[in-house]
Structure 1
Amino acid sequence: MYLHTAKKVVATIEARMASSRLPGKVLMPLVGKPVLERMIERIKPSKFVDEIVIATTVNKPDDEIDDLAKSLGVKCFRGSEEDVLSRVLGAAKSVSADVIIELTGDCPLSDYRLIDQAIAEFFKRDVDYLANNMEPLTFANGFDAQVFPVRVLEEVSNLTHDPRDREHVTYYIYTHPEKYKTYSLQASDEDLSGDLRVTLDEKNDLMLIENIFERLLLIDPLFSYKEVIKLLRENPTLVKINKNVKQKKV
């Protein structure tokens, strides 16, 4: 780790097979490899992430996710399907994390550069919670990164049993600014991309993401979010592929 801190930073990736809109999406092939494997490849070069842990469920279909994690040498924690908060907290504690960078398996275009930026800013700002996907969005939907200490999530876990808070891991934190110091990480003018959607919820999303990978992998196996933005700005027909997909609200 290159930060001036002794804290262990762990990336948790929530992933399960039982997606309501596109079941099995995290293991669907994406230019020859499962979506989740592509995502892990794009996180591993991080300078500041000490370990990656998949947070999946105890459900039988998620054995496949566990198997993939093992084959990639990545830890996998299994917990409740509905209580995602306890699952992420359990995943973090299983590897003695101090700080969580929370990611979701529907973001195969996650970029270690953005992740490192978020982690560095989190320590610099000395806040309880930092995210680059707070409203109004300045980064594309699909570049999401949220950073917070394990101790804060432990506190939240003890404070609330509301189903919405348990399903949406950080909802309680960012809706209680009187309790928690939050910071919204904004994109620079040249990186403004809040109008773009590169997350994976439906088949059309997968079509777009496949197009992006097919075009950019040839240039650089670890192509950056900047190259994704540039590609979509220069090829508006690509953006149309998933323009009718609606984002679920919390």
Structure 2
Amino acid sequence: MKIVATIEARMTSSRLPGKTLLPAAGISMLEHLVRRLKAVPSIDAIVLATTVNAADAPLVDLAERLGIAAFRGDEDDVMQRVIDAAASAQADVVVEITGDCPIIDPEIVEQTIRMFKAHRADYVSNALVRSYPDGMDTQVFRLETLRKSAAMTNEPLDREHVTLHIRNHPELFSHVHLVAPPEIHWPELGLTLDERSDYDLLKKIIEHFDAQGNALFSCLDAVRLLRQFPEFAEINKDVVRKGNT
């Protein structure tokens, strides 16, 4: 059973163009994310699922430098892009990650994969039932499950939001949900990269721990830092999230 992480990323974000290449502690946000996924024991391969737009060529170049695969597909049909990217890496199981989660916790990703392995569910996630800070979102499913879902819908929203059809039809696809332990239960906290103020916060967090030699700091480390310095969490408190469509 080959487990492949897919990273959905593009340069043409409407709210913060080029966000995945913004720097922190000397490297891009995308490189921080890739480093973290490489630290997940159960992941066998990583593939960047980007678009055919010319603007995304720098992402493909970076993927090559980082030693991960890249697949270029349709910008709007993200569901098909993820299917094709995962298939290009011969995936049996997909660990779906978005490029706006640069400080995702490798241990949380591993826990989600292990939960998938331990159950016969079609879909395992820590994101549908909100409990973790936003930016720790991990979804795990078989590639065949996503293909089955894709064959059942041509709704534009379903095609844009990869697992929306699976999430909206628990009568068709069985679900298991991870819930955060009390020490990191903070669903209102935004540790995802949507707007400039998110970047300001994430850069501050990353560079704080990088200076301590702790590049792979955990979600708990970040939560403790923001509890200690609540003014940090104020940096992006006014960002309005689009929601888990």
3-state DSSP of counterpart to 1:201 = coil
Which residue is 1:144 aligned to?
A: 137
CA offset digits 1:131-161 (Å, max 9, x no partner):
10113x1100001100010000011111111
The equivalent residue for 1:61 is 55
Cα contact 2:134–2:192 (8 A) shared by 1: yes
Report the CA distance between 1:211 and its aligned residue: 0.7
**Of 137, 140, 146, which residue of structure 2 is paired with 1:153?**
146
1:73 aligned to 61, 67, 70, which one?
Answer: 67
CA distance in 2, matches of 1:126, 1:104: 24
> What is the TM-score normalised by the length of structure 1?
0.95
Question: Superposition pairs for residues 183-222 of structure 1, below 5 Å?
Answer: 183-219=176-212, 220-222=214-216
1:4 is aligned to: none
Q: Following TM superposition, by how much is the alpha carbon of 1:195 offset from its aligned partner in structure 2, in angstroms?
A: 2.0
2:97 alignment partner, one of 96, 100, 103: 103
Q: CA deviation at 1:221?
A: 1.8
CA distance in structure 1 between the partners assigned to 2:230 and 2:184 by the alignment: 17
Query: In the TM superposition, what whole-angstrom CA distance separates every residue of 1:75-110 from its partner, at most 9, and x where no partner exists?
Result: 000000000000000000001100000000000011
Aligned to 1:169: 162
- Alpha-carbon deviation of 1:188? 1.1
SS at match of 1:78: strand
Equivalent position SS for 2:200: helix
2:36–2:103 CA contact under 8 A, matched in 1 = yes
Give the unaligned 5+ runs of structure 2: none
Aligned-residue identity in percent: 44
Alpha-carbon separation, structure 1, partners of 2:56 and 2:20: 10
Amino acid at match of 2:118: K
Query: How far apart are the structure 2 equivalents of 1:35 and 1:191?
Result: 22
Letter in 2 for 1:67: D
Query: Residues 31-83 of structure 1, C-alpha deviation per residue, up to 9 Å, x if partnerless?
Result: 21111011101111111000000000000010000000011111000000000
Of residues 68, 82, 86, the one that matches 1:88 is 82
User: CA RMSD for the aligned pairs?
Assistant: 0.8
Structure 1 residue ranges, 4+ long, deviating more than 4 angstroms after superposition = none
Counterpart-to-counterpart distance in 2, 1:86 and 1:213 = 33
SS in structure 2 at match of 1:134 = coil
The answer for the alignment partner of 1:3 in structure 2 is: none
SS at match of 1:172: helix
Q: Give me the whole-angstrom Cα distance separating, in 2, the residues matched to 1:15 and 1:221.
A: 22
* 1:11-50 mapped onto 2 (5 Å cutoff): 11-50=5-44
> Following the alignment from structure 2 to structure 1, what is the Cα–Cα distance between the partners of residues 146 and 127?
18
TM-score normalised per structure 2: 0.97
Tell me the SS of whatever aligns to 1:56: strand
Which one of 223, 228, 245 corresponds to residue 234 of structure 1? 228
